[in-house]
């Protein structure tokens, strides 16, 4: 199956003249082959993976009448996550997750590395942005009633994503290892330890011991850098699949009246 991409609207004068029957017998000239190279590569991959069907299913969906800018908040949150992922990976090239070296390495990133201040700033402020966007996206879903049947599971997945995002904020806060992050983490771990029965053991697990010790920072780093991002990426996939599978809702002010022509066509 050949992919058919929509041709851009061109004036007739610019359109290539169609070949006469029998001319070249369908052989491509090098120029034509070069101009179709992209499509040839995509075709080659698609023939072996059938990925175009999935891509079309995901990207060319019908959206309800009244879809507006509020529907872009989820995508905005996802882009905030992508930005965090990319800047985080770059920051990891310079960061040293040891109690004695962390502060100095962050100082080095901020003051010495080329564009270090910008990348660290993007990661730091981007994290706040991601939390804000997630909450605004959640508010949109709530006020538009988009959590109702059959989308309850997607709401649940979204809440887990929100909790993971907040945990990212909590674990990332320790990493600069200055006075503020050290004491904020002590306070945060103690808040979590105040839950009855499991609290004390949960704190020991998070701190890797009865006190803030040599491996606490490394543990926070591994949670911040591997465990939660992995879970986030996986659940974002699930979240997106459910969005594509179930479709989006119309805004609540959109009336349910159906177009007369459409009604005829469906009968």
Partner 1 sequence: MPDRREKTKSPYTADRHVPGSFEGETVSRRRFMVRSVHTLGGMATAAFALPALGFALGPVFERKKIRWEQVGFPADFPETTYVPRVITIAEGIGEAGKTTVYVRKHNKQLDPPMKDSYDQYVAVSTRCMHLGCPVAFVEAAQRFVCPCHGGVYDFTGKVAGGPPVRPLDRFYTRVRNGRVEIGPRYSVNSELKRFSPRDPAQDLDGIGPYAYPARFSTEKKPKGAKE
- Give residues in contact with partner 1 (CB under 8 A): 99-100, 177, 182-183, 186-187, 189-191, 193-194, 196-197, 199-201, 203-205, 207-215, 217
Two tokens, residue 190: 């103690």
Task: Specify the residue, 99 or 250, whose C-beta has the smaller distance to partner 1.
Answer: 99
Q: Nearest distance from residue 182's CB to partner 1, in Å? A: 6
Q: Nearest distance from residue 175's CB to partner 1, in Å? A: 14
Q: Are 87 and 122 in contact (CB under 8 A)?
A: yes
Task: Specify the residue, 7 or 194, whose C-beta has the smaller distance to partner 1.
Answer: 194
Q: Nearest distance from residue 173's CB to partner 1, in Å? A: 15
Q: Nearest distance from residue 223's CB to partner 1, in Å? A: 10
Q: Nearest distance from residue 225's CB to partner 1, in Å? A: 15
Task: Specify the residue, 188 or 247, whose C-beta has the smaller distance to partner 1.
Answer: 188
Task: Specify the residue, 6 or 196, whose C-beta has the smaller distance to partner 1.
Answer: 196
Q: Nearest distance from residue 92's CB to partner 1, in Å? A: 20
Alpha-carbon distance of 11 to 50, in angstroms, equals: 34
Task: Specify the residue, 72 or 100, whose C-beta has the smaller distance to partner 1.
Answer: 100
Task: Specify the residue, 81 or 177, whose C-beta has the smaller distance to partner 1.
Answer: 177
Exposure of 46 by Cβ count < 10 A (0-12 exposed, 13-18 middle, 19+ buried)? middle
Q: What is the 3-state secondary structure (H, E, C) of 186-232?
A: HHHHHHHHCCCCCHHHHHHHHHCCCCCCCCHHHHHHHHHHHHHHHHH
Alpha-carbon distance of 170 to 184, in angstroms, equals: 9
Task: Specify the residue, 80 or 102, whose C-beta has the smaller distance to partner 1.
Answer: 102
> What's the number of CA atoms in the CB half-sphere (13 Å) around residue 130?
24
Q: Nearest distance from residue 205's CB to partner 1, in Å? A: 5
Q: What are the residues whose beta carbons fall under 8 Å from the beta carbon of 105, sequence distance 6 or more?
A: 94, 95, 96
Alpha-carbon distance of 136 to 71, in angstroms, equals: 11
Q: Where are the alpha helices (DSSP H) in the chain?
A: 30-35, 37-49, 51-59, 73-92, 102-111, 116-143, 152-174, 179-193, 199-207, 216-222, 228-246, 260-266
93 three-state secondary structure: coil
């Amino acid at each position: 199956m050949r992919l058919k991409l929509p041709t851009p609207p061109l004036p007739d004068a610019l359109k290539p003249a169609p070949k006469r029957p029998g001319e070249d017998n369908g052989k491509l000239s090098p120029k034509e082959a070069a101009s179709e190279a992209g499509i040839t590569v995509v075709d080659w991959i698609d023939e072996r993976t059938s990925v175009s069907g999935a891509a079309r299913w995901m990207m060319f969906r019908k959206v309800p009448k009244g879809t507006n800018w509020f529907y872009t908040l989820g995508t905005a949150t996802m882009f905030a996550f992508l930005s965090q992922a990319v800047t985080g990976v770059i920051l990891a090239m310079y960061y040293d997750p040891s109690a004695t070296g962390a502060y100095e390495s962050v100082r080095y990133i901020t003051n010495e590395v080329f564009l270090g201040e910008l990348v660290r700033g993007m990661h730091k402020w981007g994290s706040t942005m991601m939390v804000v966007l997630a909450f605004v996206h959640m508010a949109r879903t709530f006020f538009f009633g988009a959590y109702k049947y059959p989308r309850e599971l997607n709401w649940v997945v979204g809440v887990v994503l929100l909790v993971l995002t907040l945990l990212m904020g909590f674990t990332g806060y320790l990493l600069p290892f200055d006075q503020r992050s050290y004491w904020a983490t002590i306070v945060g771990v103690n808040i979590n330890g105040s839950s009855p029965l499991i609290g004390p053991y949960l704190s020991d697990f998070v701190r890797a011991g009865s006190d803030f010790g040599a491996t606490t920072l490394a543990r926070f780093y591994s949670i911040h850098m591997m465990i939660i991002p992995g879970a986030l990426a996986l659940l974002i996939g699930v979240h997106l699949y459910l969005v594509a599978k179930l479709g989006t809702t119309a805004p609540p002010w959109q009336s349910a009246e159906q177009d007369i022509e459409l009604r005829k066509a469906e009968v």
